[in-house]
Amino acid sequence: MPASLNENPVIDRVAFLSGQWIPQSELSVAVDDAGFLQAATAVERLRTYGGRPFRADAHLQRWSKTTRFLRIDTLPSLPDVNQLIAELLDRNASFVASQPDIGVTLFATPGQQHARPTFGIHLNLIDDVSSQRRITQGQSLVITDVVQPSPLSWPRSVKVRSRLHYYSADRVTQSITADGTGALVETDGSLTETGIANLAVVIGSTVYSPPDETILHGVTQQFVEELALQESIEWTKQRLTRQLLAEADEVLLMGTTTGLWFADRYCFASQFDSELPAPNWHPLTCRGPVFQTLRRSFDTAVGQPAG
């Protein structure tokens, strides 16, 4: 585990699994559970700011949509899940107090054959050092040729653990740069998202992001869109072509763990190259004016010190 994560081995965490509170170290899914056998797992991740869950209602609405699509029934109601999140934070109060902030992960699977669904909630650590580095210095963006799964297989609006496409993009990225993030594309080559972030391109003072139906429309992106409206920043939804990227002044990244940050450079790479050539990096404006405006609004809204 990275040293920048604020792990405290003295404080044992507690998790919730299928009706019971257990040590988080004992949290597991059976090997004949459909979540393991077929990656049929609904997942939702949120985080706290100042100890308070951020946009829990929006996360739980997406959770409800995902579990309905996977037909995972007899789960706790959304009010009950909200109560479980509050109880999870309360039961882990000492550990939570030892962290700048904390993440919360929910997951559900259809369970084992002829059994009830598996449902769990647990805490996850936030690498605050890496997040602050991304906010202040940016992150490398690698545009891969890994294609998003067709929405005819499952809607991109649901959040599941079937993430081999993200894994493939990240493997390409890690062979080029240590702390980059790999973007996936459509069959036409237009950009969609990364495994940890929604993408938006800034040209002048206008923000462009992919159409909602082509991505997992993130809770954080929705929040940033609302901030843009408050700041009178124009936001347009259209496919992010290579030409649009070539014209970009800034590239925004938005995701649960870090909130809002930016790409400082980008390159293209193929998963099918046996030996990746030296990347041809294209520099981007770091901490550009649109990013700075939105980040100030973001920090104010969540009660964080200005980044």
- 157 falls within a domain: yes
CA quadruple 173, 143, 156, 123: dihedral sign: positive
- 307 falls within a domain: no
Q: Are residues 80 and 202 in the same domain?
A: no
Q: Which of 61, 94, 126 is the last residue of a domain?
A: 126
Q: Are residues 144 and 181 in the same domain?
A: yes
Longest C-alpha distance within the chain, in Å?
57
Q: Which residue has the tokens 């109880």?
A: 87
Residue ranges making up the domain that contains 251:
131-302
Rg (CA), the chain: 20
Q: Are residues 138 and 41 in the same domain?
A: no
pLDDT at 176: 92
Q: Are residues 79 and 161 in the same domain?
A: no
For residue 140, give the nearest of 267, 240, 15 by alpha carbon: 267
Q: Which of 126, 153, 171 is the last residue of a domain?
A: 126
Q: Are residues 208 and 165 in the same domain?
A: yes
The type of residue at 104 is: V
pLDDT at 2: 40
Q: Are residues 167 and 47 in the same domain?
A: no
pLDDT at 1: 36
pLDDT at 139: 98
What CATH code is carried by the domain that includes residue 253? 3.20.10.10
Q: What is the mean pLDDT of the chain?
A: 93
- 4 falls within a domain: no
- 117 falls within a domain: yes
- 290 falls within a domain: yes
Q: Are residues 89 and 224 in the same domain?
A: no
Q: Are residues 97 and 163 in the same domain?
A: no
In this predicted model, what pLDDT tens digit does every residue of 104-117 receive, in sequence order?
Answer: 999 999 999 888 99
Residue 298, CA distances (Å) to 50, 53, 119, 203 in order: 13, 15, 32, 20
Count how many Cα atoms sit within 13 Å of the Cα of residue 177 in the half-sphere of its side chain: 20
Q: What is the total count of domains within the chain?
A: 2
In this predicted model, what pLDDT tens digit does every residue of 194-240 receive, in sequence order?
Answer: 999 999 999 999 999 999 999 998 999 999 999 999 999 999 999 99
Q: Are residues 118 and 156 in the same domain?
A: no
Alpha carbon distance 168, 191 (integer Å): 15
Mean pLDDT by 10 residues, the chain (307 residues): 47 93 96 95 97 96 97 96 98 95 97 93 96 97 96 93 93 92 96 97 97 94 98 98 97 98 96 80 97 98 80
